[in-house]
Structure 1
């Protein structure tokens, strides 16, 4: 009976020590902010616009090594549009304001990202504000961030698949 007690005590001590080390590693992660500047090019998935181009600034706060919160803004312009009758549509330029969650899923470099927010039309007499949502996937290292996302603009009656190339750094 005494041997069983010693084995149980040793197993408990082993499990307790492993848990302690895992918690220390998690609490010692250096949480912080990152800032990124990106260039975006996209193809709308409907026939209203032919292509898009934009730039953005993304502030990211790392909650852990694998998860982050994001705030993104910038400017996007949708070019060369035509309506259902073939009439020209004015270019649409807007300012997106999005909040999101980024989760690294493979080797701390490949991630999935979900963002929601609003798009504020600012060019050619457009005066609408739209809800927008944007799921995406990407690759990031210490300085470079490359991602592909789908972005839907409810009131603008269009959406796009866009590529983002960005440079980022720790603050």
Structure 2
């Protein structure tokens, strides 16, 4: 039953996006191309193990149409000292995320939703884990500025965060 629900939801999403873009004549004449963006993020972990997070990223975006894009994102994120359940200090965790995603503009070609998934590679303080990570976000973007809020979950690092990203982007 659950598989049937997932298949129906996927079919509905495909038909909805296909119908929406089929009616937009500007999408058929849109020049596809690449964009590059550089961003800074500040976040608050939601589980209490870490106090705050800070990171920087580089995002390569390929515009499929005026309203849809594929993304590749990497950078560095550091989760700063916190306390574990016993009250002991937890060492900072720095990692390199590598994510692929899909971005869809949903309102006035400036407000978007995006989903990304990938891996986080721990690189500081003796951590050797690699974690699956996923990250849904909502945001606003114009020709140069991109502002978004995202939830990011790292299952192997046993933490997650809500982060604000401010970025500068340009066409390549």
TM superposition shift of 1:26:
3.5
Q: Deviations over 1:77-114 (max 9, x none)?
A: 00012111111110000000000000000000000000
Tell me which residue corresponds to 2:105.
104
State the TM-score, normalizing by the size of structure 2: 0.85
Q: Distance in 1 between matches of 2:101 and 2:90?
A: 31
TM superposition shift of 1:116:
0.2
Matched, 1:53 2:54: yes
Tell me which residue corresponds to 1:82.
83
The structure-2 alpha-carbon separation of the partners of 1:47 and 1:33, relative to structure 1 and needing over 3 Å to count, comes to same
Matches within 5 A, 1:17-166: 25-166=26-167
Q: Distance in 2 between matches of 1:76 and 1:23?
A: 38
For structure 2, the 5+ residue unaligned runs are: 1-22
Tell me the SS of whatever aligns to 2:98: strand
For structure 1, the 5+ residue unaligned runs are: 1-21
Q: Distance in 1 between matches of 2:98 and 2:54?
A: 16
Moved runs in structure 1, 4+ residues, more than 6 A? none
TM superposition shift of 1:25:
4.2
Aligned residues: 150
Q: Which segment drifts farther, 112-121 or 81-90?
A: 81-90
Q: Distance in 2 between matches of 1:121 and 1:25?
A: 43
Larger radius of gyration: 1
TM superposition shift of 1:23:
8.3
Q: Distance in 1 between matches of 2:87 and 2:24?
A: 62
